[in-house]
Structure 1
Amino acid sequence: MTQPANRWRALCLLAMAASWPAFGQSVDSGPRNGNGLKVGEGRLHFTFEFETRYDSAVGYFPPPGTTDPTLVSDQLSGEALMHIRPGLKLELPGSTLSLDLKGHADYVHYTGLITPGSTATSHLEGMADLNVAFNKQAPIGAELADHFQRSDQTRSAAIGAGVLSLFNEVRLSVPLRPGGGAFEVTPQFAWAVEHFKASGALPPVGCGGPECDPSLVDRFDYGNVRAGLQARWRFLPKTAVVADAQFDWRSYAHGDTPDALLLHGKAGLAGLVTPKIALTATVGWGQDFGAASAGAILAQLEASYLVSATATLKLGYARSLEPVAAFGLFRDDRGYLEAQALLGGRLTLRGATSFDLLSFQGVRHDTLYKLDVGPQYQFQRWMVLGAGYLLGVRSSSEPGTGINYSRHEGYVRVTVTY
């Protein structure tokens, strides 16, 4: 596809997006009883999001002059993208039965303005969340939830950039609240699957392992069955003892990675230290009873500070132990800082940063730094304009561009909700 054709397509999509605020204004001119369509006691909302984004390391594309879309460069390249996200949100509140459904389709268009030939990798992503709750205030309740997502943000810590993930998890929880709710215990059961697909056909320079070879990325496909138990006892009005234990059986559809049988549990305190400071402190242990046969201390320490009625600050550290293909297990030591403020009832300023030290079973060690900052302004209750900058820096003891990179992203997004 030629450069003029790409520019013409970009202008057409921009014009289409520009027409949506006018549509939102016309449908909002009716009675002031809230937007959306009334469904029983709830409402059905239609949403549309248009986003322009620059990503400096978005994927692997055909080299200049190549007509074969299966032949791609082995270096990460930058590109200007457009995300077109039509969606919906359904809210049906109720004390006996409540339902929340939200989701969107996301067409990711690679414009070819920076890297010619990238348009062939344009693709469809999406997300859907369903939550059905029964008897939310009763001594015995039930919650059924499902989360579906197709994205280039995978859940596998071992895989780098240039990979698409298809993930789905269904979860059943049964909250038990004897004695008025001061004590609550929740058995849980979940089943998840994730499949991976590489966006390129060549492995990155200097890396031939399964974590960056497109022909081997399906070795990370997995199914995960989780059984867990969460408990909370409020021994003070705003302070509780918390405990969480869960067992994961992780199996892999391809390759020779043995199944993981991982048991981990934590316990500690959560609540208000002062009217403005909330603290969570838990500690525990994780142990694999499979072939990896390794264990580690688990912990979380998090403090939240209410700077004002509209501004919050959160600081924390967490250590986790998780299964992963090709390596067996990895430990994640993560520090994070988040801040958010609402100014004038319309302008939201937010910022988040984190640093992860990933220690894989064996000799591989990765570091991952993330920064996410940006404003968001609500012009009308049906239209929000947001912008942001994201920085991701990853380095590994193993070679390869897919797991050693600096990624800069900037975006502008308009969201319309009816």
Structure 2
Amino acid sequence: MTQPANTSRAWCLLATLAMLASWPAFGQAEPPTFRGSPERGGNGLKVGNGRLHLTFDFETRYDSAAGYFPPPGNVDPTAVSDQLSGEAVMHIRPGLKLELPGSRLDVDFKGYADYVHYTGLFAPGSTNTSRVEALADLGITYDREAPIGVELMDHLQRSDQTSSVALGAGVLSLYNEAQLKVPIRPGGGAFEVTPQLAWGLEHFKATGALRPIGCDGPECDPALVSTFDYSNVRAGLNARWRFLPKTAVVMDTDFNVRTYAEGGTPTALLMHARAGLSGLVTPKISVTATLGWGKDFGTVAASSLLAQLEANYLLSQTASIKAGYSRTLEPVAYLGMFRDDRGYMEAQALLGGRLSVRGLASFDRLSFEGDRRDTIFKLDIGPQYQFEKWLIVGAGYLLGVRSSSMSGAGINYSRHEGYVRVSVVY
């Protein structure tokens, strides 16, 4: 049970930071994932034909399922609770953004380091678990408009948001994927085919030392989290034929070789193939519809229908709403393969040129090989306001509800998060 003094301190902290966030000398933006933020303008340091922007985010957040923390009075940071605990968390994110356009070569880099500080206001033993997370995106494009171009990309991220859906809360992920694309546009660009090759690695680390109560599987054992580490090599071919000015036939195929360094999970040899249409139905409605098949040629030999149906409605020049459904088939350690049936809806609007609001809801039903079935519901809503070109303030609420046919606190929980964020971009 939270002590009254700690509770009052937490609310005072949140209230003070909320007032600072609304004071004209400070600002907030989407954290430097650099998505959805209003135009920054021409600030920054001049670098050749481009600019280097320095960024800084400060965020305070309450997370009702922040992690597994040492019990009060415990001096051993490895002896942590087997139950998720709520905590007030601070994020301090210095970063930078480089935009370097050229006549033939474009370079784009975005990245930040994120110091995650657990304040100890609700769980006094949490401070010792503070850590550093990070994100970096690099894109290099050569001959963007030429008949044959080259695109090289790399994505690096360390966070507690893992791509492995078999694992629950309380896991850190270090992920990196390098990707090479060669767009080929013969005959003016109506037809485009893009061979691509990617190599990804992901390493997992448990934040706690004990199993969550009631969960006996390897996905809940901190000592076995590293057996989910994998290497994934993906070769693919995308094609697009624009047979009308704003409508195209699309095709997407790829072959994945997923290997696991530990744990004895067999190598997955997974092929995806999809085809369909993408384009405008009316001046305000665009639709993407694809259908395909996924097949594992490895030991598991799973297969599934693949599909995507997405519609985007342009309410006005500054507001839109998107809804869709997708089905995918992906590999995972121990459990072999899983099918993800996902429905989602997203809306966003820019009001008065400075205030933007957004909302996102999604529901995933995960069907693993065997008897395990999971569901994940996510809700993300919030506004942000641009005071200056270099200054944005925002707030938000996130809800995550996960349930599984397996027992265990780490894969059955509800997570409430509220935050205030201040960002400055030079």
Scaled to the shorter chain, the TM-score interval is: over 0.9
Residue 27 of structure 1 is matched in structure 2 by none
SS of 2:226 mapped into structure 1? helix
The 1-side partners of 2:55 and 2:130 are apart by: 22
Is residue 2:320 matched to residue 1:299?
A: no
State which drifts further: 47-56 or 205-214. Answer: 205-214
Taking only aligned residues, the RMSD between alpha carbons, in angstroms, comes to 2.0
SS of 1:143 mapped into structure 2? strand
Q: Deviations over 1:372-404 (max 9, x none)?
A: 000010010100001000000000000000000
Residue 57 of structure 1 is matched in structure 2 by 65
Contact 1:95 1:136 in 2 (8 A): no
Contact 2:288 2:309 in 1 (8 A): yes
Using the TM superposition, give the Cα deviation of residue 95 of structure 1 relative to its aligned residue in structure 2, in angstroms. Answer: 3.4
Residue 224 of structure 1 is matched in structure 2 by 232
Amino acid at match of 1:415: S
Amino acid at match of 1:212: C
The 1-side partners of 2:227 and 2:376 are apart by: 23
The 2-side partners of 1:197 and 1:236 are apart by: 49
The 2-side partners of 1:377 and 1:352 are apart by: 18
The 2-side partners of 1:395 and 1:192 are apart by: 28
Correspondences of 1:77-92 after superposition (within 5 Å): 77-92=85-100
Residue 290 of structure 1 is matched in structure 2 by 298
Amino acid at match of 1:50: F
What TM-score results when the alignment is normalised by the length of structure 1? Answer: 0.93
Unpaired runs of 5+ residues, structure 1, are 25-31
Residue 33 of structure 2 is matched in structure 1 by none
Residue 362 of structure 1 is matched in structure 2 by 370
Unpaired runs of 5+ residues, structure 2, are 28-39
Correspondences of 1:128-207 after superposition (within 5 Å): 128-207=136-215
SS of 1:195 mapped into structure 2? strand
Moved over 6 A (4+): none
What TM-score results when the alignment is normalised by the length of structure 2? Answer: 0.92
Using the TM superposition, give the Cα deviation of residue 79 of structure 1 relative to its aligned residue in structure 2, in angstroms. Answer: 0.2
Amino acid at match of 1:338: E
Paired residue total? 403
Residue 217 of structure 2 is matched in structure 1 by 209
Using the TM superposition, give the Cα deviation of residue 58 of structure 1 relative to its aligned residue in structure 2, in angstroms. Answer: 1.1
Q: Deviations over 1:322-361 (max 9, x none)?
A: 0000101000000000000000000001000000000000
Contact 1:104 1:127 in 2 (8 A): yes
Contact 1:163 1:197 in 2 (8 A): yes
Using the TM superposition, give the Cα deviation of residue 187 of structure 1 relative to its aligned residue in structure 2, in angstroms. Answer: 0.3
Q: Deviations over 1:100-124 (max 9, x none)?
A: 0010000000000011110000000
Task: From the superposition, tell whether residues 21 and 124 of structure 1 become closer, same or farther in structure 2 (CA, over 3 Å).
Answer: farther
The 2-side partners of 1:74 and 1:417 are apart by: 40
Contact 2:157 2:175 in 1 (8 A): yes
Residue 121 of structure 2 is matched in structure 1 by 113
Residue 49 of structure 2 is matched in structure 1 by 41
The 2-side partners of 1:70 and 1:34 are apart by: 48
Is residue 2:388 matched to residue 1:383?
A: no
Correspondences of 1:85-104 after superposition (within 5 Å): 85-104=93-112
Q: Deviations over 1:27-48 (max 9, x none)?
A: xxxxx98210011110000000
Amino acid at match of 1:325: A
Residue 411 of structure 1 is matched in structure 2 by 419
Using the TM superposition, give the Cα deviation of residue 147 of structure 1 relative to its aligned residue in structure 2, in angstroms. Answer: 0.2
The 2-side partners of 1:365 and 1:177 are apart by: 43
Q: Deviations over 1:1-37 (max 9, x none)?
A: xx99xx79x89x97xx98x98599xxxxxxx982100
Which residue among 77, 90, 97 is the counterpart of 1:69? Answer: 77
Amino acid at match of 1:291: T
Q: Deviations over 1:189-231 (max 9, x none)?
A: 0000000000000000001211111011001000000000000
Which residue among 339, 344, 358 is the counterpart of 1:336? Answer: 344
The 1-side partners of 2:24 and 2:165 are apart by: 39
The 1-side partners of 2:407 and 2:349 are apart by: 40
Task: From the superposition, tell whether residues 21 and 94 of structure 1 become closer, same or farther in structure 2 (CA, over 3 Å).
Answer: farther
Amino acid at match of 2:326: A
The 2-side partners of 1:186 and 1:417 are apart by: 35
The 2-side partners of 1:124 and 1:297 are apart by: 40
The 1-side partners of 2:196 and 2:348 are apart by: 32
The 2-side partners of 1:188 and 1:240 are apart by: 20
Residue 315 of structure 1 is matched in structure 2 by 323
